[in-house]
Chain A
Amino acid sequence: NAGVTQTPKFQVLKTGQSMTLQCAQDMNHNSMYWYRQDPGMGLRLIYYSASEGTTDKGEVPNGYNVSRLNKREFSLRLESAAPSQTSVYFCASIARLAGGNEQYFGPGTRLTVT
């Protein structure tokens, strides 16, 4: 049981390049989330998927797209990377919408855009 996994762990992109961050969870959770964490700040929600087949914007969605490929996987795509997207990206999942269930976080992906 690996929990929430993210790939890659580190990535350097040039401005204008595209890439996809992968996230997978093996806990059979319904809801998945993508956050970004900028230096000295808390996490901010980019997109989330309440259940397979649905996605919704969070607080800072501009410049990103997501795909809930199946119940296990939730990917985040940067179509044309910008230096402002330099950040650490966290994926998280939770079992169901109701209740005080803990969000399980992945280890993060450190992305640098030059």
Chain B
Amino acid sequence: AQTVTQSQPEMSVQEAETVTLSCTYDTSESDYYLFWYKQPPSRQMILVIRQEAYKQQNATENRFSVNFQKAAKSFSLKISDSQLGDAAMYFCAYRSKAAGNKLTFGGGTRVLVKP
């Protein structure tokens, strides 16, 4: 079974600065998807960014980008120019292509943004 680990329970960043969230995962598969979800206090799960394992190019969505290191099984999220609205829990998730689209989540990292 796959596991996803987020080693940072909480990260703090100054507004307009950059913060990087870590995520590692364990799998024996070669083709899969990785996701970062944002969960604000409203509890709504919001997709931030996705990465397909066979694509070497790192995904980017506006101020959010990832550093995908397939051999190291690492998938970090960088938030640039942090804004107050970025404050939330962030979850890394893994999806196998072969397992019914089930998501396996990490434990989450709380991001605090200081004005």
Contact = CB atoms under 8 A, between A and B. Distances in A.
B51 to A, nearest CB: 9
A105 interface: yes
A42 B106 contact: yes
A31 to B, nearest CB: 6
Interface string A83-97: 000001010101001
A97 B101 contact: yes
A107 B102 contact: no
A33 B105 CA distance: 14
Given A102-B47, A105-B44, A42 B91 contact: yes
Interface string B17-56: 0000000000000000100000000111101001010000
A10 B4 CA distance: 29
Interface in A70-114: 88, 90, 92, 94, 97-98, 100-103, 105, 107-108
9 smallest beta-carbon distances between A and B, as pairs: A42-B105, A105-B45, A108-B43, A43-B105, A100-B33, A42-B91, A102-B47, A50-B100, A94-B101
Interface of B: 4, 9, 33, 42-45, 47, 50, 52, 91, 93, 95, 97, 100-108
Interface of A: 31, 33, 35, 40-45, 48, 50, 56, 58, 88, 90, 92, 94, 97-98, 100-103, 105, 107-108
